[in-house]
Chain A
Amino acid sequence: DTAVSQTPKYLVTQMGNDKSIKCEQNLGHDTMYWYKQDSKKFLKIMFSYNNKELIINETVPNRFSPKSPDKAHLNLHINSLELGDSAVYFCASSQPGTWTDTQYFGPGTRLTVL
């Protein structure tokens, strides 16, 4: 009964390649997010989608393109991977509209660019 799932868990690839990470949530939440956690363990938001529509796009290179086919899925496609993209990427979801919308995080995808 995984609430937020991501695939793959590990991804090792060469510089310049294109890769995708998939995320699914079965909590019925309206909002989904992508976060990047760097080697210093600092979590930084990348994107936020509410009901399939983009509501936040932080300063992220346009090589990163999120796609939300429905409100339960938010995939992250990365073009022309660079060494600096190596990090752990977390998907999360929440139900906004309340004072305390808790975010539920997925297990993370560790991306290593060689």
Chain B
Amino acid sequence: KNQVEQSPQSLIILEGKNCTLQCNYTVSPFSNLRWYKQDTGRGPVSLTIMTFSENTKSNGRYTATLDADTKQSSLHITASQLSDSASYICVVSDSEGRGGGADGLTFGKGTHLIIQP
């Protein structure tokens, strides 16, 4: 059974500090891995999408890493800001990307991040 496990469940850090969120998956065959940010009361917004050939991808202060061998990904947030307070959801696709749509997406339960001033 395909699974995506995220840790920690929740995290509180001070503004300006860095943090790293983890995502472990057992999804096969692997197609891509996505990180979404979901602000309270809003829909998820895509931060990064990584395919098996990509090890690191950055989007501003967000840097995602992927180790396809160990089936682990991390999302590193640098110099956190209050607006980074949100849930971060890891989603892994086993679709072959040939017009399959959402079939094969496995969602993690998210990490709830709180940035304190």
Contact = CB atoms under 8 A, between A and B. Distances in A.
Given A41-B87, A106-B43, A108-B41, A33 B101 contact: yes
Contacts of B44: 43, 90, 103, 105
B109 A99 contact: no
Contacts of B41: 107-108
Contacts of B100: 96
Interface stretch (B21-29, B45-53, B72-80): B45-53
Contacts of A97: 97-99
Contacts, number: 70
B101 A55 contact: yes
B43 A108 contact: yes
B: interface residue count bin:
20 to 34
A7 interface: no
A98 interface: yes
Interface residues of A, number: 29
Interface of B: 31-32, 34, 38, 41-46, 49, 51, 87, 89, 97-103, 105, 107, 109-110, 112
Given A4-B43, A92-B43, A105-B45, 8 more contacts: A31-B102, A40-B109, A96-B99, A97-B97, A97-B98, A104-B46, A105-B44, A108-B42
4 closest residue pairs by CB, A with B: A105-B43, A99-B97, A100-B49, A31-B101
